[in-house]
């Protein structure tokens, strides 16, 4: 059904929500193109990599302690940790860890980080309810499809108004994925989306702080809960997405109705997913690429620099113009810090976006010499960095397609290497090779939860 042709009565009746729900209920593994199946596995490799990296970050330590006070049982694994918890808490905490360092995947049209809310909910479910690897991958693909299509319908206004789109749309993806994994029919999936619609939340204002992790975790937890409620007949509205006071009209002034169903089953949102080579906001990737190139051939010192100019899409300034950051978390979304640290060190790993790096006074001094030049004609994955020296000489480098973008994607071997590196960084002693091997052939797993046992901190029974 094409949303462009739907009249007001059809919108009120929930035609779009029902079309999405029918698609989720009816789609089978054989319907997924090979490229989509492969991308699902790539997304999971990246998911476990970033979750392992942050497994012992202070954000997770504090959250695990507090959430543990309300633990119902110990049926579920926390990735890279020794503790076990219940299904809902595991969904929340594993989604948090995958998003803490801003090193997770990015759906380019919306800047949603799609995997964390959906995968965390599914793996938490899998430890209590039997799901095959193939079944989990199918549910994952469909959850991401729903999540990102809803994001397409409210973008870019939704994020610009201050809503954290990964959190607000991720809850729908988690609900749809779990509903599929549990074999819910069309009507129950409508209810699951309705139950999810009243649990959306998340603000851009929280970026760079621990608070952001709450809403990302809630997206996984609340989506899982929404589907489990629907499975037991907990009903919701007929039009939770397109209704007069449904999510889309509340979240955006003029929703793009067609984005929900146009080419459904023919165009797959997962094929628009990308994976970061650096732990920061995705719009900074081309900036870092350019700075690495400039640093590699440097014939100047910090003292020689008069000014640094960043030219790029206006989103670059809107999301990363953050001078005077105080923490490593804040630095992940600060162009001022990213430019300074990469030009100084010639590297852009997790150590470069840490509290210790932020405390370096020489980096703060250089950050103050940066200015933005907006150009709406430039794609988000492109940027130019120009260094103006006190002598008047100007040195610049433009990146047309950042490493990790759709035009220059990370190869499978690079994703596997990322998993190894971040598993080591997270100090969990997880066998990264064993985990990687299982994920690349995940569709053959009889028990999807088996990978969670591999992802638990080693040395435990």
Residues whose CB is less than 8 angstroms from the CB of residue 277 and which lie 6 or more positions away in sequence, other chains included: 285, 348, 403, 404, 410, 414, 418
* Residue entry with tokens 């037991």: 232
- The C-alpha atoms of residue 427 and residue 46 are separated, in whole angstroms, by 17
pLDDT at 297 over 90: no
pLDDT of residue 4: 46
What is the tens place of the pLDDT at every residue in 396-426? 999 999 999 999 999 999 999 999 999 999 9
Mean pLDDT calculated for residue range 113-126:
98
What percent of the chain clears pLDDT 70, i.e. is strictly above it?
97
Mean pLDDT calculated for residue range 118-138:
98
**370-374 and 76-77: which strand pairing?**
unpaired
Side-chain-side CA neighbours of 155 within 13 Å: the count stands at 20
pLDDT of residue 298: 83
pLDDT of residue 380: 87
* Alpha helices in 161-200, H assignment, sequence order: 165-181, 186-197
Mean pLDDT calculated for residue range 70-92:
97
Residues whose CB is less than 8 angstroms from the CB of residue 205 and which lie 6 or more positions away in sequence, other chains included: 162
The model's confidence at residue 461, banded by pLDDT at 50, 70 and 90, is very low
* Residue entry with tokens 């302690």: 65
pLDDT of residue 3: 42
What is the tens place of the pLDDT at every residue in 3-41? 445 666 667 778 999 999 999 999 999 999 999 999 999
pLDDT of residue 157: 94
The SS3 assignment for 156 reads coil
Q: Which of 200, 191, 197, 225 is nearest to 90 (CA)?
A: 225
Mean pLDDT calculated for residue range 89-110:
95
* Alpha helices in 297-397, H assignment, sequence order: 314-320, 328-331, 335-345, 355-358, 361-367
- The C-alpha atoms of residue 179 and residue 183 are separated, in whole angstroms, by 6
* Alpha helices in 130-284, H assignment, sequence order: 133-154, 157-160, 165-181, 186-197, 211-231, 247-251
The model's confidence at residue 460, banded by pLDDT at 50, 70 and 90, is very low
Sign of CA pseudo-dihedral 282, 285, 287, 288: positive
Give strand pairing partners of 387. Answer: 308, 395
pLDDT of residue 300: 85
Of 125-139, 319-333, 434-448, least confident by mean pLDDT is 319-333
CA distances from 44 to 18, 29, 78, 443, 451 (A): 28, 17, 16, 12, 11
The domains found in the chain, sorted by start residue, are: 3-275+424-454 (1.10.4100.10), 282-399 (3.30.1330.120)
What percent of the chain clears pLDDT 90, i.e. is strictly above it?
87
What is the tens place of the pLDDT at every residue in 134-167? 999 999 999 999 999 999 999 999 999 999 999 9
Buried b / exposed e over 422-439, threshold 16 CB at 10 Å, is bbebbebebebeebbebb
Mean pLDDT calculated for residue range 228-234:
98
The model's confidence at residue 433, banded by pLDDT at 50, 70 and 90, is very high
The model's confidence at residue 2, banded by pLDDT at 50, 70 and 90, is very low
Residues whose CB is less than 8 angstroms from the CB of residue 231 and which lie 6 or more positions away in sequence, other chains included: 179, 182, 184, 188, 192
The model's confidence at residue 301, banded by pLDDT at 50, 70 and 90, is confident
Give strand pairing partners of 308. Answer: 370, 387
Q: Which of 395, 384, 399, 398 is nearest to 301 (CA)?
A: 395
Mean pLDDT calculated for residue range 268-293:
95
Residues whose CB is less than 8 angstroms from the CB of residue 224 and which lie 6 or more positions away in sequence, other chains included: 87, 88, 91, 121, 124, 125, 174, 175, 178
Side-chain-side CA neighbours of 101 within 13 Å: the count stands at 33
The whole-chain average pLDDT of the chain stands at 94
Buried b / exposed e over 202-223, threshold 16 CB at 10 Å, is bebebbbebebbbbbbbbbbbb
Mean pLDDT calculated for residue range 233-245:
96
Torsion of CA 322, 324, 325, 331, to 10 degrees: 60
């Amino acid at each position: 059904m094409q949303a462009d042709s739907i009249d007001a009565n059809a919108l009120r009746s929930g035609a779009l929500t029902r079309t999405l729900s029918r698609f989720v209920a009816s789609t089978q593994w054989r319907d997924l193109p090979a490229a989509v199946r492969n991308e699902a596995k790539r997304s999971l490799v990246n998911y476990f990599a970033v979750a392992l990296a942050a497994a012992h970050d202070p954000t997770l330590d504090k959250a695990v302690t507090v959430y543990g006070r309300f633990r119902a049982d110990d049926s579920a694994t926390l990735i890279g940790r020794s503790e076990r918890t219940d299904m809902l808490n595991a969904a929340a905490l594993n989604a948090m860890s995958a998003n803490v360092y801003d090193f997770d995947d990015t759906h380019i049209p919306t800047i949603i980080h799609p995997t964390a809310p959906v995968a965390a909910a599914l793996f938490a479910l899998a430890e209590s309810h039997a799901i095959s690897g193939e079944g989990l991958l199918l549910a994952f693909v469909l959850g991401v499809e729903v999540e990102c299509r809803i994001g397409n319908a409210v973008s870019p206004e939704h994020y610009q108004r201050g809503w954290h789109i990964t959190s607000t749309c991720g809850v729908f993806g988690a609900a749809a994925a779990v509903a599929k994994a549990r074999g819910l029919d069309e009507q129950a999936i409508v209810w699951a989306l309705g139950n999810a619609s009243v649990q959306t939340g998340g603000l851009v204002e929280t970026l760079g702080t621990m608070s952001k992790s709450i809403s990302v975790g809630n997206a996984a937890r609340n989506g899982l809960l929404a589907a489990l409620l629907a499975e037991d007949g907990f009903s919701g509205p007929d039009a939770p997405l397109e209704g007069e006071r449904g999510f889309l009209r509340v979240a955006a002034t003029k929703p793009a109705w067609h984005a929900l169903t146009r080419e459904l089953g023919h165009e797959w949102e997962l094929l628009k997913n990308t994976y970061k080579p650096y732990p920061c906001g995705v719009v900074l990737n081309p900036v870092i690429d350019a700075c690495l190139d400039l640093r590699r051939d440097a014939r100047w010192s910090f003292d020689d620099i008069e000014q640094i100019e960043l030219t790029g899409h206006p989103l670059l300034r809107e999301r990363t113009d953050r001078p005077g950051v105080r923490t490593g978390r804040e630095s992940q979304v600060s162009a001022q810090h990213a430019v300074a640290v990469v030009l100084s060190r010639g590297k852009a790993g997790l150590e470069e976006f840490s509290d210790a790096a932020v405390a370096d006074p020489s980096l703060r001094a250089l950050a103050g010499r940066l200015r933005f030049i907006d150009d709406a004609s430039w794609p988000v994955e492109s940027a130019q960095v120009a260094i103006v020296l006190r002598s008047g000489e100007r040195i610049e480098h433009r990146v047309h397609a950042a490493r990790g973008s759709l035009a220059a994607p990370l190869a499978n071997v690079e994703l596997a290497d990322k998993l190894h590196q971040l598993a080591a960084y997270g100090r969990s002693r997880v066998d990264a090779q064993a985990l990687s091997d299982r994920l690349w052939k995940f569709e053959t797993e009889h028990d999807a939860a088996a990978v969670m046992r591999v992802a638990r901190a080693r040395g435990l029974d």
